[in-house]
Amino acid sequence: MRDGCRFILVYDDNEPVGFASFQHLSNDIYKLHKLYILKTQQGKGTGRFAIEFIVNEIKQAGATALQLQVYKLNKAKDFYHKTGFEVIDEISLDIGNGFFMNDYIMEKML
């Protein structure tokens, strides 16, 4: 786990259905590191609920933006766009053995 990362668990009644992690990066910017929602919960507003919860938390701490990285071909990019994130940059990271992470950096202004 990264220093300063906060984790939240998302429940449907008493059933855990997802989790997210986020971290303060610098000044007034936070980063969403992970958002995982069970497939059976996708499309029900669970992911949107998690993002709104995080946004409310970080706004109270003075945040003005929430950023994330998402693989360019991941359909989650469309979900993030629907929840107010915009592509602000692209990144290609060499992760070894000829493999690269080709991601978008997305940001939601608060």
Please state the length of the chain: 110
Looking at residue 4, what is its pLDDT?
86
The pLDDT of 22-48, averaged and rounded, is 96
**Superfamily the domain 6-109 falls into:** Gcn5-related N-acetyltransferase (GNAT) (3.40.630.30)
Residue 109 in this model has a pLDDT that exceeds 90: yes
Any residues with CB less than 8 A from the CB of 63 and at least 6 apart, and which?
24, 28, 29, 30, 110
Helical ranges in 1-110 per DSSP H? 46-60, 76-82
DSSP letters, 12-72, are ETTEEEEEEEEEEEETTEEEEEEEEE-GGGTTTTHHHHHHHHHHHHHHHTT--EEEEEEET
> What value does the mean pLDDT take over residues 62-77?
96
CA angle 49, 71, 28 (to 5 degrees): 55
Type of residue at 77: K
Instruction: Give the tens place of pLDDT for each residue, 42-56.
Output: 999 999 999 999 999
Determine the pLDDT at residue 2.
57
